[in-house]
Structure 1
Amino acid sequence: MKRFWLFMPLVVAVVLGAVLFAGIGKDPTKLDSALVGKPVPAFNLKDLNNPENSLNESLFQGEVTLLNVWGTWCPSCRDEHADLMWLAREKKVAIIGLNYKDSRDDALVWLDRLGDPYRKVIYDPKGTLGFDMGVYGAPETFVIDASGVVRYRHVGVVNGEVWEQILLPVINDAREKG
């Protein structure tokens, strides 16, 4: 029995090493999503700007759209905000916001100060839609085709490089497939 305990640190070290080695070289922005290829989950949540209005998955019908998950508590969301403004204004990209686990008042002040790149903002204070979408945190951005099907999930900040190298090709492909 004493021998078993002598080898226990070695066993733990080997197992831990195998787990860590498996993660080396993997891109943390490429988290698989079970939703890719499936429709946006059904939801019924309030419009951040007009709480008397409810929003649902029909928001994603008719054109390729980005769904951007953000919160005022998220420093990286602030980092990407100017790029989202640029995409909405200059590139005419349809962006729907998902205000995730946030305060309505804080979110409204944020958009008033920094600008509002979103066509609509889904208010998700409890994270229910975020949970159904498999969101780990913010920011995350999904490409959703004109039929409401999730085509891609990007974890992390959207900037010019991410736009050109990742999102634009996915959007163009989704537009071609109609």
Structure 2
Amino acid sequence: MAGGIRKSVLIPVAVFVLIGGALLALASSGGRDVAGEGYLDRPLPEFAQPPLIGDERGLAASDIRGEVALINVFASWCAVCLSEHPMLMRLAEEEEVALYGLNWRDRPGAGRRFLDRHGDPYVATGEDAAGRLGAQLAVTGVPETYLVDAEGRIRYRHVGALTERVWQEVLRPLIREIEKPS
């Protein structure tokens, strides 16, 4: 009987250690799939997202074509989205890049309240309460940001908060490269 008790205790401990090791390995590797390579250099899907409650206009794929732009996927319930928000406000004020928002899997009205409270850096924002557009873009969580070229092709996907380092070392150089005349 004592051997049976030890096995019943050891099995959950072993499972816990394995899960903990896997999570640690994932965290040290940088988190979720950042590249999303299967979705790069593909056109944005055709979409027309409804506006946030209280807004007059939503967000459509046609709004984004014709310029290099960033689409930032966010939610009011996302703590990391709140921490990245000052960076988005800075980009909107100081950088020459169009920034669009997609409010993902949020409660009705919560996205507008979030932007009213913390500032609205977006040219336009669409609501994706059911997550359908997010599924087409392969959103795995929030925040995520997509770099889209003037032809409407997804050129880069960043998973996680936009930081000054990501802007300086990744996005700004990519935008400059995309904007170079051929």
TM exceeds 0.5? yes
RMSD of the alignment, in Å? 2.7
Q: In 2, distance between residues paired with 1:144 and 1:155?
A: 15
Question: 2:87: which partner in 1?
Answer: 83
Deviations along 1:58-108, one digit per CA (max 9) or x if unpaired, are 122111000000000100000000000000001132100000011231111
Compared CA separation, residues 161 and 94, structure 1 to 2 (3 A): same
Question: 1:107: which partner in 2?
Answer: 111
* Matched position secondary structure for 1:34: helix
Segments of 5+ residues of structure 2 without an aligned counterpart are: 1-10
Segments of 5+ residues of structure 1 without an aligned counterpart are: 1-8
Deviations along 1:135-169, one digit per CA (max 9) or x if unpaired, are 00000000000110000000000011110011111
1:64 aligns with 2:68: yes
Which residue identity is paired with 1:121? T
Deviations along 1:88-139, one digit per CA (max 9) or x if unpaired, are 0011321000000112311111111110000000111100100000000000
Q: In 2, distance between residues paired with 1:176 and 1:126?
A: 37
Give the TM-score of the pair, scaled to structure 1: 0.81
Q: In 2, distance between residues paired with 1:62 and 1:131?
A: 24
1:168 aligns with 2:175: no
Compared CA separation, residues 36 and 86, structure 1 to 2 (3 A): same
Which residue identity is paired with 2:98? A
Deviation at 1:25, TM superposition (A): 5.9
Question: 2:48: which partner in 1?
Answer: 44
Question: 1:6: which partner in 2?
Answer: none
Which residue identity is paired with 2:30? D
Compared CA separation, residues 53 and 90, structure 1 to 2 (3 A): closer
Compared CA separation, residues 136 and 26, structure 1 to 2 (3 A): same
1:155 aligns with 2:166: no
Within the candidate set 94, 98, 103, 2:98 is matched to 94
Q: In 2, distance between residues paired with 1:177 and 1:25?
A: 38
Bigger drift between 26-35 and 156-165 goes to 26-35
Give the TM-score of the pair, scaled to structure 2: 0.80
The size of the alignment, in residue pairs, is: 165
Question: 2:29: which partner in 1?
Answer: 26
Q: In 2, distance between residues paired with 1:34 and 1:56?
A: 23
Which residue identity is paired with 1:155? V
